[in-house]
Homo-oligomer: A and B are copies of this chain.
Amino acid sequence: MTSGLVLYGYWRSSAAYRVRIALNLKGLGYQNRPVHLVKDGGEQHASAYAAMNPQQLIPSLRDGDRTLTQSLAIIEYLEELHPEPPLLPVDARGRAQVRAMAQLVACDVHPLGNLRVLQYLESELGADEAQRGAWSRHWIATGFAALEAILADNAATGGFCHGDTPGMADACLIPQVYNARRWKLPLDDYPTIRRIDAACSELQAFRMAAPEAQPDAPAVQG
């Protein structure tokens, strides 16, 4: 389905990856406009992009004359306008649970490992590569330990984070698993997370959204 949606993203951005998964799960086509986060000091800081997204972060989603920002707000917007298939359960408690798992990743894990934070740690606090790696692994491990406990303890956990269809929590979790692997965090302690990651990796919506499947992914990835 062609939707007229335009996604400003970056192949390896966790937040853009979430939105790609949501768009694919809903079967919404979109134009992909890569924003290179490193080249020329970061294309997200260019004036045309900054005018559209004053945070100078990605992703942004254009829908007609309107720019939407913040990955979870974008996913909620897609859910409201294109309710099928749903990415949130029908009951308020289930919805709260899925949103909480999504926010565990999107508020308490991912922002700490973001590029701009790692750049600050290096330039202002002199953190070397090993310290930046330890920092990133620490916050992912802290978040994953909690999420594993939540998933393992909840009767609503199914083949995916909530029940047997993928939703908003899975769209946040899988990009964070990708980051965990990138930072070489062992995943042995998180069997439920590994199981859900394996289930998602079988689905076309997740495969098409993966960093290495994006047009701006380099041929050799660092």
Contact = CB atoms under 8 A, between A and B. Distances in A.
A39 interface: no
A128 B84 CA distance: 51
Nearest to A77: B96
A1 interface: no
Contacts of A57: 108
Nearest to A108: B111
User: What does DSSP make chain A's interface, helix, strand, loop or mixed?
Assistant: helix
A135 B112 CA distance: 13
A56 B96 CA distance: 18
Contacts of A110: 107
B100 A70 contact: yes
Interface of A: 54-57, 66, 68-70, 72-74, 76-77, 80-81, 92-93, 95-97, 99-100, 102-104, 106-108, 110-112, 117, 120-121, 124-125, 127, 131, 134-135, 138, 143, 145-147, 149-150, 153
